[in-house]
Amino acid sequence: MEEANVTTKAKKKIVMISGPSCVGKGPLLAALKKFHPEIKFGQIPVIKSHGSRNNTPRPDEKDIWDDRDYFMPDSDFPNLDRNRYLVGDCRGFPQAIDLDRLLNANNSLLIMEVYYTIGAQFKNSPSVAARLKGVDVQTIFVSPVAPDELASLGAAGINTDEYVFHLMVNKQVRRSEFMGQTMTKKGIADIISRAKDAPHELRALNDFTSSIVCREGEGSPLWNRNPRGVFRRRRRPAGDAALALAELVRLIK
């Protein structure tokens, strides 16, 4: 997925984007690539485990399911070369960052979508810092709700952890419906697990360089994408999805 770099001598920069599952990181980056060609970047994926998808790819992941740059069987992660891969945990499932791909990418700007603890592990690891010496790392947290809104809800006596949990359950159910996925016991358990993690992720927001409020989850029609991730008739994101995209563009520029 790496694209040609604007200048091979430019200092390399990595933008790490984190946020709760289904907050809209995927369509946000897809819209950046589609509608802002002036921002030249390479998108380096975190390698996810098959188990994190209940061993079944989503509709927009079928073409990359057997590509080891994107997905691997859970049993393969313990055998990865630790000099090349940074291996971490995401909600009980392994993930990995291929440091060689970062170093060898031609792009001066690279963007990665990472789980927040793996992002912290990446940024704070002495061995990673040694290998990526001179690389600028920017971190952006994508939140489904503004921090001041959560503060107001808390001041009104509302349990904000429960609020965020139910908010993210709703977004994930909408994504499943949008993608035509059948609700199974495993699928429901996965939704609950991801939603329970969201309040903990939001508490890490202040550890990031900057943040974006993205109110439209991955199943929102305002992204104007079909279930396979293709934008409909070149239509741009609308409403709050468009606002989130504009803020991401501002931060990167």
SS (H, E, C) the chain: CCCCCCCCCCCCEEEEEECCCCCCHHHHHHHHHHHCCCCCCEECCCEEEHHHHCCCCCHHHHHHCCCCCCEECHHHHHHCCCCCEEEEEECCEEEEEEHHHHHHCCCCEEEEECCHHHHHHHHHCHHHHHHCCCCEEEEEEEECCCHHHHHHHHHCCCCHHHHHHHHHHHHHHHHHHHCCCCCCHHHHHHHHHHHHHHHHHHCCHHHCCEEEECCCCCCCHHHCECCCCCEHHHCCCCHHHHHHHHHHHHHHC
CB 75 within 8 A of CB 243: no
* Tens-digit pLDDT profile for residues 220-232: 999 999 888 888 8
pLDDT of residue 5: 40
* Tens-digit pLDDT profile for residues 64-97: 999 999 999 999 999 999 999 999 999 899 999 9
| CATH architecture of the domain formed by 13-43+107-252 | 3-Layer(aba) Sandwich (3.40)
pLDDT of residue 238: 96
Annotated domain spans of the chain? 13-43+107-252
pLDDT of residue 17: 96
2 has pLDDT over 60: no
- Average pLDDT rounded to a whole number, residues 124-135: 87
CA distances to 60, 120, 130 from 28, in Å: 15, 21, 31
How confident is residue 10, by pLDDT bands cut at 50, 70 and 90? low
pLDDT of residue 3: 44
136 has pLDDT over 70: yes
124 has pLDDT over 90: no
Residue 253, C-beta contacts closer than 8 angstroms, at least 6 positions apart: 39
Q: Whole-number mean pLDDT of the chain? A: 91
* Longest CA pairwise span in the chain (Å): 54
- pTM of the shown model: 0.85
pLDDT of residue 131: 87
Residue 4, C-beta contacts closer than 8 angstroms, at least 6 positions apart: 40, 106, 107
Q: Name which of 110, 138, 114, 135 is nearest 2 in CA terms.
A: 110
Sign, CA dihedral 24-237-111-138, equals: negative
* Tens-digit pLDDT profile for residues 141-175: 999 999 999 999 999 999 999 999 999 999 999 99
7 has pLDDT over 70: no
